[in-house]
Amino acid sequence: MAMSDESPTPAAAAVAPLTPVLTRRWASPRSWTIGTYEQLDGYTALKSVLGGPSPANPDQLIELMKNSGLRGRGGAGFPTGLKWSFLPQGDGKPHYLVVNADEGEPGTCKDIPLMMADPHSLIEGCIITSYAIRAPFCAIYVRGEAIHALRRLTVAVNEAKAKGYLGKNILGSGFDLEIVVHAGAGAYICGEETALLDSLEGRRGQPRLKPPFPAVAGLYACPTVVNNVETICSVPPIVLGGAEWYRSLGTEKSPGPKIYSLSGHVTRPGQYEAPMGTTLRQLIEMAGGMQGGIPLKFFTPGGSSTPIFTPEHLDVPLSFDDVAAAGSMLGTTALMCFNETVSVPWAVWKWLEFYKHESCGKCTPCREGTGWLVQILRRVVTGEGTMADLDTLADAASNIAGRSFCALGDAAATPILSSFKYFRSDFEDLVTGRTAPVVSTHDLVGAH
């Protein structure tokens, strides 16, 4: 098994296997109420920023985020402080903060529990971030189906407002902020930040041309920061603990704790907050091993859009750079674990049905290509495919990857390209009849 080249930082060696920061209040009674939150240091970061005799300089907060090394938790891992610093200052336009809470990447299930269990940490993060980027309006774009998270957030906003943490002249600082909790309506593509912005503007959630980037022309064509829930929730602890403390967790290039979401054929699936760079082997161990002792066959490091890994990647430190070096992406640390009973072509077909269903339709390769791949895969999994089909799959997927308008097209090609890398023979066995069809034609069920 390959080991990572990036050795853990000295500080990391001393830290515990699990390091609850974002999840540390989750088990507290009625953790979602402002009372519990305040008892457990809630809003002290905000008070330290805005509550003193003279409020902090917003640029100090941007500098703090840069120093902390916090990287976006939505999947791409872009440095958060740098993103904030891109907003033009003194341009006379309002600035906006938009929180991407449109969790929907298959395998990803961290933001919704976070918002349900600890909504105030998101609110506090929003207030501090909005102050840092000088935004008078913040929208939390929550996946429409996440009704309980919407409820908790809405009530939390009202509680915060009643306490003077939101609204006019927050804590006497002169800073005004409104937060709107906004529900989406069922479209995976809205997790793409520019599609999210179009959706938040009341349009079809189709990605926008970049440039201009949201930092220059985002919501209502004004400078906008779009950050993931987990990213924003990381802000209050960073303000309280400082950059050095934050960097004592994780790897040098991927500092901080991370919520790893284990799902699938592990004994105890769930949310495990551990330092960045923890390996799947360590996580599976904490989760009680593989279910029934059946060995792992493949897993996604960060959702279905990240190239799959195999048991040989069990010891890859799950940090942005280590995973990239091993040929995948950290994504949302959604670790979907599939054991040896699972047919790879079947899983790939299922995922392609998903991408076809969620393709927004804007660009040709993704709109037409995902449909075509699904048609071919349906034949492959029902035993009606040919070897030529496999060549077509590989070629068509490579014609989508890097040619589509946004990353959804790349993501759709990913399961095919990565599974062909490790498991092409599984496909060949299906089309040559060496293995039986995994699905009968009439069982082609699903959302599709």
- Considering only residues 27 to 86 of the shown chain, the ones binding another protein according to CB under 8 A are 27, 30-32, 49, 56-57, 59-61, 63-64, 67
Residues 86-105 that bind another protein (CB under 8 A): 94, 103-105
Does the protein bind another protein through residue 448 (CB under 8 A)?
yes
In the numeric block, which tokens belong to residue 375? 């048609």
CB closer to another protein out of 2 and 146 = 146
Closest of 147, 146, 155, 69 to residue 110, by C-alpha: 146
How is 314-353 classified by DSSP, letter by letter?
TTS--SHHHHHHTTS--TT-EEEEEETTS-HHHHHHHHHH
State in angstroms the smallest separation of the CB of 25 from another protein: 9
**Residues 136/94, Cβ–Cβ less than 8 Å:** yes
Non-local (6+) Cβ contacts of 285 within 8 A are none
1 binds another protein (CB under 8 A): no
Provide long-range contacts, Cβ within 8 A and 24+ apart, for 399-402. 399/365, 399/369, 400/365, 400/366, 400/369, 400/370, 400/373
Residue 231 binds another protein, judged by CB under 8 A? no
User: Should residue 414 be labelled a site residue for another protein when binding is judged by CB under 8 A?
Assistant: no
Cα distances (angstroms) measured from residue 30 to each of 36, 39, 152: 7, 12, 11
Binding to another protein, residues 139-178 (CB under 8 A): 139, 143-148, 150-152, 154-155, 178
Site string for another protein, 184-213 (x = CB under 8 A): xxxxx----------xxxxxxx---x----
Instruction: Kindly state the smallest distance separating residue 67's Cβ from another protein, in Å.
Output: 6
> Which of the ranges 227-235, 312-320, 361-369, 416-424 carries the binding residues for another protein, by CB under 8 A?
361-369
Question: Whole-angstrom Cα distance, residue 355 to residue 349?
Answer: 10
Q: Is 296 in the site for another protein (CB under 8 A)?
A: no
Shortest approach of another protein to residue 333 CB, angstroms? 12
Measured from the CB atom, the residue of 316 and 439 that comes closer to another protein is 439
One residue of 39, 220, 289, 294 binding another protein per CB under 8 A: 220
Residue 349, φ and ψ in degrees, nearest 5: -60, -45
Measured from the CB of residue 362, what is the shortest distance to another protein in angstroms? 5
Q: Specify the DSSP element, H or E, that contains 298.
A: strand 296-300
Instruction: Say how far apart CA 354 and CA 374 lie, in whole Å.
Output: 9
Q: For another protein, give the closer residue by CB, 192 or 273.
A: 273
Which residue of 235, 362, 413, 417 would you call a contact of another protein, by CB under 8 A?
362
Q: Are the beta carbons of 300 and 109 closer than 8 angstroms?
A: no
Residues 422-441 that bind another protein (CB under 8 A): 441
For another protein, the binding residue among 88, 172, 174, 270 (CB under 8 A) is 270
- For the chain, the residue count is 448
